[in-house]
Amino acid sequence: MTDSNYVDPAALGSLYTAHLDALKLRHDHALERCGASHAVIFSGAARRVFLDDYDYPFKANPHFVSWVPLTDTPLCYLIYTPDKTPILVYHQEKDYWHVSPSIPDDYWPGELDIRVVHALDDVAQHLPADKDNCILLGDVHVPAHGFGIERVNPGIALNTLHFARATKTEYELECMRAASRRAVAGHRAAETAFREASSEFDIHLRYCQAVRHAENELPYGNIVALNRNGAVLHYQHQRHKKPREFRSFLIDAGARVRGYASDITRTYAKKDGEFAALIGRFDCLQQELVAEVKAGLDFRDLHMLCHRKIAAMLVETGFARGSVDALIESGVTSAFYPHGLGHLLGVQVHDVGGHMADESGTLIDPPSGHPFLRLTRVLEEDQVLTIEPGLYVIDMLLDNLAGSAGYDMIDQKRLDWLRPYGGIRIEDNVRVLTNGCENFTRDAFAA
């Protein structure tokens, strides 16, 4: 099963030309601001494992992937000069140890001037001769990969491109809809495996099988957490051993289509009852927040509205007492919900530019006391972001309230009941519209 099971390549092809036109305009502007004539975009290079003879998993430069949907091909260069066809210097090493890449029969090669090279030294002849008028974008940790270009990742260019990248083209939006559909197939398989009392490791395998991703192809490491493990925000294990009792399941997992990511979280109860009802109540809270999304909304305000809603829910469900303002000001809501409400999403899971006020790189700070909020911008049409409130029993944070007024507001017996379940997080991927949003995640689950 490939991405063609989730998206029609012909449909992407019809959108790709306009996508390239948008990239060209953005790079024209970045080059003008830099006083440069050419952008050389490096796909990246594999890094060797210390004291061994194989490489760490390769992650392509997102600047490169936005031009060319090649996510697993190192040592390639995209050369853009305004008013000229972009050149792809496609490195295809002749190597009997590995399979050499080849030009696919796909929608994108016809839009580029593709020049195949078989050795790194052959790249130089295809680069612009006037290196002083070039900028290079990418992770150049070996000087030879820079070919003498001195301006590597100039801040003016990166700020210009990163600020603009928050707004997605129709091509990118279609890739991201497909990535949500692909991930939802995995989420359904994972829920089934949980209902069958599988281990975290086996649930993870079922997810990967359903989305047809090898582990290194996932946009990020799957969070597959049973019971109390759901309270670890970036839980990094998939345990082989089954727990003695199955209570709850939190899965945060995505998929990729043509380099673009989805990022979806769901929480499940093993049995009907109070925790299942709490998940249902929290799902309503999350959807109330999604309903607020629209162009012109300051995302910081939505994050703080989330804290107000969580405070009200804590009182309603008996976990805390006191006014909404008091629960926020005393740090109670931050102890139950310490992370940000969401982030930009695209060719990177935590896409760049979330704190940028403008293309000059002016930053918008998160609200005081909320340092982990990754998105502080005023929302604009065709941005794609996550909405992911959470509620957890994190003893480290709750213990920090000891001796404070906030600690006395918490019902410890109710907390003891919730602790074995870990926590709840529900995350959707949404596209900002003029008046509302398109919910890629819910649409995929409804299909």
Task: Give percent of the chain with pLDDT exceeding 70.
Answer: 100
Q: Could you tell me which residues come within 8 angstroms of residue 301 by beta carbon, excluding any fewer than 6 positions away?
A: none
Mean pLDDT of 415-438: 98
Counting DSSP H helices and E strands in the chain, the numbers are 13, 15
Do 401 and 410 touch, CB atoms closer than 8 A? yes
Which pLDDT score is estimated for 344? Answer: 98
pLDDT digits (tens, 9 = 90+) for 148-173: 999 999 999 999 999 999 999 999 99
Provide the 3-class DSSP secondary structure of residue 223: strand
Write down the residue that tokens 């294990």 correspond to: 237
384 vs 104, higher pLDDT: 384
pLDDT tens, 293-324?
A: 999 999 999 999 999 999 999 999 999 999 99
Which DSSP letter does residue 363 get? B
Confidence of residue 3 (pLDDT cuts 50, 70, 90): confident
pLDDT at 67: 98
What single-letter amino acid sits at 415? L
Mean pLDDT score, 39-46? 97
Using one digit for the tens of pLDDT, what is the confidence trace for 109-124? 999 999 999 999 999 9
Q: pLDDT averaged over the chain?
A: 97
CA-to-CA dists, residue 250 to 66, 141, 176, 226, angstroms: 31, 37, 22, 6
Q: Is the Cβ–Cβ distance between 1 and 178 less than 8 Å?
A: no
Q: Which residue stretches of 133-215 are H helix?
A: 155-165, 170-195, 200-211
Quickly count: other Cβ atoms within 10 Å of residue 322's Cβ: 19
Residue 215 corresponds to which amino acid? E
Tell me the domains of the chain and their CATH numbers: 3-165 (3.40.350.10), 170-446 (3.90.230.10)
Q: At what angle do helices 299-316 and 274-290 cross, to 10 degrees?
A: 150
Picking from 340, 322, 341, the residue whose alpha carbon sits closest to that of residue 332 is 322
Task: List the structure tokens of 427.
Answer: 């995350």
What is the per-residue pLDDT across 82-139, written as a single tens digit (0 to 9) for each? 999 999 999 998 888 888 888 889 999 999 999 999 999 999 999 999 999 999 999 9
The number of angstroms, rounded, from the C-alpha of 439 to the middle of its chain's C-alpha atoms is 16
Burial tier of 90 (Cβ tally within 10 Å: 0-12, 13-18, 19+): buried
Query: Which stretch of DSSP H or E encloses residue 26?
Result: helix 9-34
Q: Where are the beta strands (DSSP E) in 109-157?
A: 113-117, 134-137
| pLDDT range class, residue 5, cuts 50, 70, 90 | confident
CA distance 445 to 447: 6
> Residue 237 pLDDT > 60, yes or no?
yes
At residue 1, the pLDDT reads 47
